[in-house]
Amino acid sequence: MRRKLIAGNWKMNTDRASAVALAKGIVGGVDKYKAVDLLVCPPAVYLTFVAEVVRGTSVALGAQNMYHEGNGAFTGELSAAMLKDVGCSHVILGHSERRHILGETDAAVNKKTLAALAAGLVPIVCVGELLAEREANKTAAVIRSQFEGSLAGVSAEQIEKVVIAYEPVWAIGTGKVATPQQAEEVHADLRKLLTERYNGQSAAKVRILYGGSVKASNAGELLAQPNIDGALVGGASLKADEFLGIAAGAVG
Ligand code: PGA
């Protein structure tokens, strides 16, 4: 059985005080959700402050991005080791905002994924189609090519540690959520791609999250789908009650 993972991507939101308050609000309510893994991904500058709040609790800490090199002259970048050093266990990679606003390619996401795994961080590798691609019936092809490009060279042993997030770009921050059937179809395709590339046993262990306008009121039916193993949540992760409400949906 795959444990559900509810991950909050705070994006470029909060300030130091509200980040700490949000983390405290979440930590304060986790006792009811022991059956679910919870993760918060604050802006990098607040990682250390949030780390202090979540240390020793069941809430894990993640970053929203990293660079694939270990250290050196890469102005403005952060390495996997640095993220681990401040308490991160996870890192979101290839989020659609990084792909489409900041020009990140599958090749870059792939390097980061391999570096995260080598450093012992769990990469949450995001894939997802644009609205135009869905309308042109290209969803499956786009997902396959992002899967292949972003996860090239990941071994069967490593893939079991990877989390994949399916985030249709047209559903992110728009209030337009994919129907449970639309999401499940892509999740099942991803599971098939994993089985083809690796084997059924490894494929069955990989958690595939859905992201795109998830909130407490729609989480239950999305998370009830057989191949939806959690949620990557943006807007609704900025309120502790709402985020915990999504965790409640994962408990069922
Ligand atoms: P949203 O963002 O929940 O605000 O749609 C999801 C995401 O980008 O991970």
User: Ligand 1 pocket by C-beta < 6 Å: which residues?
Assistant: 9, 167, 172-173, 211-214, 232-236
Chain CA centroid to CA 15, Å: 22
Residue located via tokens 């690796």: 198
Residue 102 burial class via C-beta count within 10 angstroms: exposed 0-12, middle 13-18, buried 19 and up: exposed
| H or E stretch covering 90 | strand 90-93
Active-site annotation, residues? 95, 167
pLDDT band, very low/low/confident/very high, at 47 (cuts 50, 70, 90): very high
Dist. CA 123–CA 155, nearest whole Å: 14
CATH class of the domain whose range is 5-251: alpha beta
Dist. CA 16–CA 219, nearest whole Å: 28
Using the mean position of ligand 1's atoms as its centre, give its distance from the Cα of residue 212 in Å. 5
Dist. CA 207–CA 121, nearest whole Å: 15
Using the mean position of ligand 1's atoms as its centre, give its distance from the Cα of residue 174 in Å. 9
Share of the chain above pLDDT 90, in %: 97
Q: Do 24 and 53 touch, CB atoms closer than 8 A?
A: yes
Residue with CA nearest ligand 1 atom 6: 234
Using the mean position of ligand 1's atoms as its centre, give its distance from the Cα of residue 73 in Å. 32
pLDDT band, very low/low/confident/very high, at 175 (cuts 50, 70, 90): confident
Among 6, 213, 222, 242, say which to mutate for ligand 1: greatest number of ligand atoms within 8 Å of CB.
213
Whether residue 1 has pLDDT greater than 90: no
pLDDT in tens, 21-46: 999 999 999 999 999 999 999 999 99
pLDDT in tens, 208-248: 999 999 999 999 999 999 999 999 999 999 999 999 999 99
Dist. CA 28–CA 194, nearest whole Å: 37
| H or E stretch covering 4 | strand 4-9
Based on C-alpha coordinates, what's the Rg of the chain? 17
Whether residue 20 has pLDDT greater than 90: yes
CA of 96: how far to CAs of 13, 39, 104, 170, in Å?
A: 17, 19, 9, 10
Q: Which of 237, 214, 148, 201 is nearest to 2 (CA)?
A: 201
